[in-house]
């Protein structure tokens, strides 16, 4: 299966992508994670992206399309993939179609995760991640079973993203509504768009996605 999880920052795309990795052995392709790795490694792309990400704006289409094109050429995608955070503009959506054509790949579904803006800020500001295995958590909604210890790998190191603060969230939500939400009709017209209620609890959202993928 090859799918796009489309939704605003904090909608739960990464949380559900990680579950699809575990349950279906699909691969999460998170452009946000790729950019954060580039920033940490100090590459040219990372240097260029850092300020833009800290401001909650979008990195330019050419850079992002290049990153995804290279990633789709890697040999680990035989069980499919979940695009998480890409495409984010109409130009990226159109370029993705061309890339998939050239690489002889076909999307199975585009799943929109719908969450109210008011809930998103709380989700983003409370988000943190295991520094060792990347498992996601939330101060209120997804706590580890033993306080301060990762359920998955036992690590006690956690990190929070530089851009997960109330001011940057505002710009990120503006960017979503201005630049990303307008691509929903693009997939609706192709009859590929499915919706899930991202306001539901995490297990319920997983069940809704499974239902779509098993149909």
Q: What is the DSSP letter of 89?
A: S
Binding mask 58-97 for ligand AMP (x = CB under 6 A): xx----x--------------------xx-x---x-----
Provide the strand spans (E) within 69-192. Answer: 81-84, 109-114, 127-130, 136-138, 158-159
3-state secondary structure of 3: strand
123 binds ligand ADP (CB under 6 A): yes
C-alpha–C-alpha distance, residues 197 and 207, integer Å: 11
Q: What is the DSSP letter of 142?
A: B
Q: Which two tokens stand for residue 45?
A: 């792309």
Q: Among ligand ADP, ligand AMP, none, what does residue 184 contact (CB within 5–8 Å per kind)?
A: none
Part in contact with ligand ADP (CB under 6 A); list of ranges 43-51, 53-61, 132-140, 165-173: 132-140
Q: Among ligand AMP, ligand ADP, none, what does residue 142 contact (CB within 5–8 Å per kind)?
A: ligand ADP
Q: Which residues pair with 7 in a beta bridge?
A: none
32 binds ligand AMP (CB under 6 A): yes
Among 18, 88, 123, 194, the one annotated catalytic: 88
User: 71 catalytic, yes or no?
Assistant: no
């Amino acid at each position: 299966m090859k799918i796009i999880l489309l939704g605003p920052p904090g909608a739960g795309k990464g949380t559900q992508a990680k579950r699809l990795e575990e349950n279906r052995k699909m691969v999460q392709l998170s452009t946000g994670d790729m950019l954060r790795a580039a920033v940490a490694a100090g590459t040219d792309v990372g240097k260029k992206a850092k300020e833009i990400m800290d401001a909650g704006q979008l990195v330019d289409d050419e850079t992002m399309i290049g990153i995804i094109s290279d990633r789709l050429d890697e040999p680990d995608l035989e069980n499919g993939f979940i695009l998480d955070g890409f495409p984010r503009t109409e130009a990226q959506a159109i370029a993705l179609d061309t890339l998939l054509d050239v690489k002889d790949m076909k999307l199975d579904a585009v799943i929109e995760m719908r969450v109210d803006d008011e809930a998103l800020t709380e989700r983003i500001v409370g988000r943190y991640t295991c520094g060792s295995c990347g498992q996601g958590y939330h101060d209120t909604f997804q706590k580890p079973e033993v306080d301060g210890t990762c359920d998955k790998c036992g690590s006690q190191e956690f990190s929070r993203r530089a851009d997960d603060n109330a001011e940057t969230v505002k710009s990120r939500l503006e960017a979503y509504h201005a630049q990303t939400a307008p691509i929903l009709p693009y997939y609706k017209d192709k009859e590929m768009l499915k919706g899930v209620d991202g306001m539901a609890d995490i297990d319920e959202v997983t069940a809704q996605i499974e239902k779509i993928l098993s149909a």
